[in-house]
Structure 1
Amino acid sequence: MDEELLTIGSFARRSWLSPKALRLYERQGLLLPAAVDEHNGYRWYRAEQLETARLIARLRRLEMPLATVAAIVAAGDPRTQAGLIGEYWSAQEHATAVRREIAAHLRSRLLDDREGLSMYEVKVRDVPEQTVLTEQRHVKAQDLPAWIDEATGRLLKAAAGHGDGVVGPCFIVYHGEVNEDSDGPVEICLPVNPTGPVDSAVRVEPAHREAYTRIIKAQVGYPQILSAFDAVGQWVAGQGLPVSTSPREVYFADFGAAGPDDEVCDIAFPLD
């Protein structure tokens, strides 16, 4: 046997990977042996594969998924690999920040932090009947922002050139809980006054009264926005008012052009 080749045991010790891990990475096509004995199935590796194996070992210590590890290994170029690692770690830090916010929100709710929710001023208003273009989908929290952007773009395109076009603020209706495990469904509605056929579903939103609170752009992100929903829900319950339909977010301002402290959205609960 070529003396440049290492047995799987020797390679495992020098690469900081177990033989079991090496067999897994072979099945995944991530790190293939240099040779396999056709008679006894023994695996052999080249010493030059140690650098790749050690990179894999370090990446796995970051709890990085195998698919991401494979993409980094396949990139080859150190600059590209470093960039991919940076992207992965930024995503992990963002996910940790979101979980931290959710934990803080849950602690506050469990401790019945009425003082924190009292910062939201709740009002009641009448909303007239509206004809709306609509798109609905089952979607979880992590995929919601992208879908909202895409669906809103489709609805705006469908509304163009029909009657007066868009005649009111876009609103997003939550027909069910949306989080990491539940997927709604969620419905995006765009008030229009169409005079002809449109390339989207159309329905009539009945006239109703609703309780609402107004929030700034900085408060819209998930999970911060949950506090506003809780504030309105708690106010409605405290007033003994029955909620008739699903809560919604009403976007009355240009979200993209707004600054962090600009008011952009109402959290509203329709009432009976």
Structure 2
Amino acid sequence: MDVVDGEPPTGRPGAGDRVAGDLLTIGAFAARTRLSAKALRLYDRQGLLTPAYVDDVSGYRYYRADQAERARLVALLRQLDMPLARIAEVVELEGERAADRVAAYWAAVEARLAGQRALVDYLRAHLSGRSSELYGKFEIETVDVPEQWVLTQRRHVLADELPTWIGASLGRLEEAARECGGITGAPFVVYYSEVSLESDGPAEACVPVADEVAARAWAGGQGRAWETQARREPARRLVYTRISKAQVANPQIHAAFDAVGAWIAREGGLEVAGPCREVYFADWDAAGPEDPVCDVAFPVR
């Protein structure tokens, strides 16, 4: 029989229910735990807090008094806006393991809030016309990059997938470059269109290599499994600014690109001549938060 949402008239199981007399109705249990019957029904559907007994005839739900602690834990975790699926993991753990899982969740929340706080500062400066205050923090330079052959992998990717994809793709290409005469320049990522939570680029990971013939052969052979290509990257003049590892995140990296774009517009006589890019010239894993690791750049003519 389907479970129903009401209460038995007496507030306790009937004489023929074969349940212990210390079971609590959903109403009594809700009052004891300071949770609503609606919340308890939700927790039941999610498998977080299953009633101790459901009457076969009436469908009424009953709880044991010792389930109250688990119910309160679920409610407290919900106050952290923890997803129900994550709560299901925590309540099945004990002691330090459960505490560590909560700590890991909150560390991720704080990291997200820090990024959102920085984004608010960026938007306030941008919308109030104080963008120059942000741009002034970046030193703009130019560099001429010679023609080079690159191994590449291109993908449509959203912003939350981007860091993982960049690391994996550049790692594969750098390994392949060993069979193509070695790496001859800093790896870079080209953005052919915006990458955000709604827009998926595409983006292209590129690693410069020494041997054109070997690169083309590798791309046409082993590289097919990863949809790798080999292409000629023409000589370019880049306008760029150098940023730290901590700044390779939103919105700091957007502010850096905006600063470069504003500098190009302000200088005059220059025209953007291709999609923007990030050039990764340092060992990402070994770098600290304040170490310079990346140039954000626009090609110009």
> Alpha-carbon deviation of 1:259?
4.3
Secondary structure of 1:2's match? Answer: coil
* 2:258 aligned partner: 230
The alignment covers a number of residue pairs equal to 270
Secondary structure of 2:92's match? Answer: helix
- The answer to whether the aligner puts 1:56 opposite 2:74 as a matched pair is yes
Encode CA deviations 1:226-251: one digit per residue, 9 max, x unaligned. 22111101111223433222111112
Encode CA deviations 1:70-114: one digit per residue, 9 max, x unaligned. 010122x12111111111111111111000011111112222331
- The answer to whether the aligner puts 1:216 opposite 2:244 as a matched pair is yes
Measure the CA separation in 2 of the matches of 1:41 and 1:259: 59
* 1:170 aligned partner: 187
* 1:20 aligned partner: 38
Given that residues 151 and 231 in structure 2 are in contact (C-alpha distance below 8 angstroms), is that contact kept between their aligned partners in structure 1?
Answer: yes
* 1:149 aligned partner: 167
* 1:121 aligned partner: 139
Residues 115, 55 of structure 1: CA spacing in aligned structure 2 closer, same or farther, 3 A cutoff?
Answer: closer
> Alpha-carbon deviation of 1:65?
0.5
Q: Percent identity?
A: 51
- The answer to whether the aligner puts 1:85 opposite 2:85 as a matched pair is no
- The answer to whether the aligner puts 1:105 opposite 2:134 as a matched pair is no
Residues 47, 221 of structure 1: CA spacing in aligned structure 2 closer, same or farther, 3 A cutoff?
Answer: same
Counterpart of 1:103 in structure 2: which amino acid?
V
TM-score by length of 1: 0.91
> Alpha-carbon deviation of 1:2?
1.5
* 1:96 aligned partner: 113
- The answer to whether the aligner puts 1:263 opposite 2:281 as a matched pair is no
Query: What is the alpha-carbon root mean square deviation over aligned residues?
Result: 1.9
Residues 258, 2 of structure 1: CA spacing in aligned structure 2 closer, same or farther, 3 A cutoff?
Answer: closer
Counterpart of 1:238 in structure 2: which amino acid?
R
Secondary structure of 2:157's match? Answer: coil
Larger Cα-atom Rg: 2
Counterpart of 2:234 in structure 1: which amino acid?
P
> Alpha-carbon deviation of 1:193?
2.5
Given that residues 188 and 278 in structure 2 are in contact (C-alpha distance below 8 angstroms), is that contact kept between their aligned partners in structure 1?
Answer: yes
Encode CA deviations 1:17-41: one digit per residue, 9 max, x unaligned. 2111111111111111111112221
- The answer to whether the aligner puts 1:41 opposite 2:59 as a matched pair is yes
